[in-house]
Every structure is written in structure tokens, then in C-alpha cells.
């Protein structure tokens, strides 16, 4: 009895000691994190006007970007003013019809905050992690976010592209803009940057889309459920961008294939393209045209916004109110829910950032080729100047 009591007490003491050690370790890590400057996690995206009255500025910034819509290196900004002025009334009306503005800022800030909460627990060596959003064409613009990061004392930052599929016209444009702001605002190079420039087959991304598709399929009658055509709809690109060898079409296709593989190819599917603007040739087939062609021929059709990480005008208006709402076959059409606050997706993002931070990789092996092929009137000419530690001594 005595020996059993001694063994029990010994076991209790060991467990208590282990608990104290772990508590001390957690407390020590938290105290260390509080002393360190924050690691900035910067979600970069196109953005959208949060208020209707911000529409003109958004459109001007968008059409003034020669990386996205190459019109004229010399007269791009002048032409952009006229296009923005002409298109503003129509686009303002569309934003009013979806609730008075784009929800992309709300969702981006939510996603960034949740990712940082997870990282503070799973990646304590780079904690604390501070969330930021930097939009290319809407508030908060890259310059505004950069100024805030400097005020916050950020020394290390990850530019996390919210385009899972690299295109020089989107992620490339954001990197070019980041380099401009580094030169304008941070000549001392107080912030050391790295970038997640593509993630088309990220496990969380694939799983989250698969979950949302499976859930939406349950809304179709059981007899036709496996016959429903899945239309994966991505934002199109001008053909003069595609013909430079842009990586985007292949990477979007990689995401689609991985999702269908996870779904065991139960449904017929196609990749289609939306949001073409202007008279120049754009990548097709066009989402609206394919939907109207298939409408009378299929039992059901689902739209999946495959290149978007949250809702905005392309999903809420172009697809919901336009392609579906104006179709005579709308009773057969449904749209898969966007990723928005999907927990599987957010956890996948956090895992991706954690792996990136622990790898010490500044950018992907593909990025130098992307910039060699991409065309811009104001490009980054040497990626090694943008990323890595360049702090003045």
C-alpha cells in the first residue's frame, strides 16, 4: 500500500512538473512575442469600393493600371479618366443593387485577422502576427497600408496574394506597386518582405471549394444531382496578356482539376471565363454564353467562382443578378457559396503562411520567369531588390 501511494504521488508530481514546465514555456513564448516587432501578414487583392461614392476612384485606378489592362504606356492615365467617368454611373447602380458597396474589404479583413489568430498559436517563433489588407485599386491602397505598417513597427512582412493563381496582370501588378511604395516610403528598408505569389493546389483551398460544391449540390433534386454541370468561372484575361505566356490559365485549371479529383469526377464540368471589358479579345469561353447554350440542354447547372476568395461584384451582381437572374433557365441555375468566412479555407491559408514563414523562401521558383515574360511600363526589374533583408546599416 505504501509503495503504491509513493508511486501515485510520484506520478502526480511528474505530471504537475510537466504542466508547470509547459505553462512556463507558453508564458515565456508569449512574453518573447510581446517584446518582438509584429510580423505583418498582408492580404493583397484587387479590392472594390466599400461605398458607392468610391466607385469612380476605384475605376480610375483600375483602368490606369497598364499591367492589368495594357492600353497605352504614354496615355494610359488620361484614357483611364475618360473610361472611369463613362462607366461610373452604370457601376454605381450595380453596387447599389448588391447592398451599397463591395464586401471584399470586410471579408479580407476578417480572413486576415483569423489567419493571424491561428498563426499566433501555431507559429510562435514569428509571433505576434498583425493582419493587414492592401488593395491595388480601392481603399486601403498599398501606400496607405505601408504607412500604417511603418507606424506599427513591422520589421518582417509577408505579401500574401489573394489571387491563388498567378497572373502578371494581378499578382504581378501588386508586386510592381509594392516596389513603388518601398522606394517612396521605405528607403531605409526597415521592412523585410517575402511573398506568397501562387497557391492553386493548396489543400485548404481545394477542400473548402469541394465542401461548398457538395453542399450546394444537395439543393438539386436527387435524381438529377449527379448530372448537374459544374461551371468553374474565373475572371478572364485579355488575350494579349495570355499570349505572353501568362501562368494564370494553367493554374486555374490546376485548381479545377484538383477539386474534381477530390469530388471523384462525379459531375460533368467546364472551366469558363467572365468579366470581359472593352472591344479587345479576351480569354473564353464566356461564362454567360456557355450558360445560355447549356440552359435548355441540361438538368441543372452550378456556377463556382473559382478564382475569387470572397464575394464581390463579379459574384453578387454579374453571376447572381445577371447570368442567373436574367436567364429564362434560372430555375435550373445555382451558384456555389463563395469562400468568405469558410473555416476550412482560413485554416488552409494559415497553414500556407506558416509553411512559408518556416521555409525562409522569399518567393516561388516560378516568379522570375513570370516577370521575365510579363509586360509593364513600370516593372520590377530585379526581384532580389524587392524581397529579403535590405535594411540600411
Residue 66 and residue 169: Cα distance in Å, rounded?
8
Interacting residues of 198 by C-beta distance below 8 A, sequence separation 6+: 161, 164, 165, 166, 171, 247, 251, 364, 366
Residue 184 and residue 66: Cα distance in Å, rounded?
20
Residue carrying the nine cell digits 480569354: 283
Residue 332 and residue 324: Cα distance in Å, rounded?
9
Q: Which three cell numbers stand for residue 268?
A: 460533368
Which candidate, 44, 43, 45, 49, places its Cα nearest to that of 313? 49
Residue 122 and residue 102: Cα distance in Å, rounded?
32
In 1-91, where do the E strands start and end?
A: 39-45
Rg (CA), the chain: 24
Q: Which of 226, 351, 378, 382 is catalytic?
A: 351
Strands 156-161 and 39-45: parallel
Strands 269-274 and 301-305: unpaired
Residue pair 59/86 in contact (Cβ under 8 Å)? The answer is no
Angle between helices 343-359 and 203-217 (to 10 degrees): 170
CB atoms within 10 A of CB 376: 19
**DSSP readout, 179-204?**
HHHHHHH-TT--SEEEEE---TT-HH
Distances (CA, A) of 139 to 109, 212, 221, 279, 327: 12, 29, 43, 29, 34
- Respond yes or no: is residue 351 known to be catalytic: yes
| Residues designated as active site | 351
Amino acid at each position: 500500500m505504501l509503495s503504491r501511494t509513493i508511486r501515485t504521488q510520484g506520478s502526480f508530481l511528474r505530471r504537475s512538473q510537466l504542466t508547470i514546465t509547459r505553462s512556463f514555456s507558453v508564458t515565456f513564448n508569449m512574453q518573447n512575442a510581446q517584446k518582438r516587432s509584429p510580423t505583418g501578414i498582408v492580404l493583397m487583392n484587387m479590392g472594390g469600393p466599400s461605398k458607392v461614392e468610391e466607385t469612380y476612384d476605384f475605376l480610375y485606378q483600375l483602368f490606369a493600371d497598364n499591367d492589368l489592362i495594357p492600353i497605352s504606356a504614354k496615355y494610359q492615365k488620361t484614357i483611364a479618366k475618360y473610361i472611369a467617368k463613362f462607366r461610373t454611373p452604370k457601376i454605381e447602380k450595380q453596387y447599389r443593387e448588391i447592398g451599397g458597396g463591395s464586401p471584399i474589404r470586410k471579408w479580407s479583413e476578417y480572413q486576415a485577422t483569423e489567419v493571424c489568430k491561428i498563426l499566433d498559436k501555431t507559429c510562435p517563433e514569428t509571433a505576434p502576427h498583425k493582419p493587414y489588407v492592401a488593395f491595388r485599386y480601392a481603399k486601403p491602397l498599398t501606400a496607405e497600408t505601408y504607412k500604417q505598417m511603418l507606424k506599427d513597427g513591422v520589421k518582417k512582412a509577408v505579401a500574401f496574394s489573394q489571387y491563388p493563381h498567378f497572373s502578371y496582370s494581378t499578382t504581378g501588378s501588386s508586386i510592381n506597386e509594392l516596389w513603388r511604395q518601398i522606394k517612396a516610403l521605405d528607403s531605409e528598408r526597415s521592412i523585410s518582405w517575402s511573398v506568397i505569389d501562387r497557391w492553386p493546389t493548396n489543400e485548404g483551398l481545394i477542400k473548402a471549394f469541394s465542401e461548398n460544391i457538395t453542399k450546394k449540390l444537395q439543393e438539386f433534386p436527387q435524381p438529377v444531382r449527379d448530372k448537374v454541370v459544374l461551371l468553374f468561372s474565373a475572371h478572364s484575361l485579355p488575350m494579349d496578356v495570355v499570349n505572353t505566356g501568362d501562368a494564370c490559365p494553367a493554374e486555374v485549371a490546376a485548381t479545377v482539376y484538383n477539386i474534381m479529383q477530390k469530388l471523384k469526377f462525379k459531375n460533368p464540368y467546364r472551366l469558363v471565363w467572365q468579366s470581359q471589358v472593352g472591344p479587345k479579345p479576351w480569354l473564353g469561353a464566356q461564362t454567360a454564353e456557355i450558360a445560355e447554350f447549356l440552359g435548355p440542354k441540361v438538368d441543372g447547372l452550378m456556377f463556382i467562382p473559382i478564382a475569387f476568395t470572397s464575394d464581390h461584384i463579379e459574384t453578387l451582381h454579374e453571376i447572381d443578378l445577371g447570368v442567373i437572374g436574367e436567364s429564362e433557365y434560372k430555375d435550373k441555375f445555382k451558384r456555389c457559396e463563395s469562400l468568405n468566412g469558410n473555416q476550412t479555407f482560413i485554416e488552409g491559408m494559415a497553414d500556407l503562411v506558416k509553411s512559408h514563414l518556416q521555409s525562409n523562401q522569399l518567393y516561388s521558383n516560378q516568379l522570375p520567369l513570370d516577370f521575365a515574360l510579363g509586360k509593364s511600363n513600370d516593372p520590377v526589374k530585379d526581384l532580389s531588390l524587392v524581397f529579403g533583408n535590405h535594411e540600411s546599416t
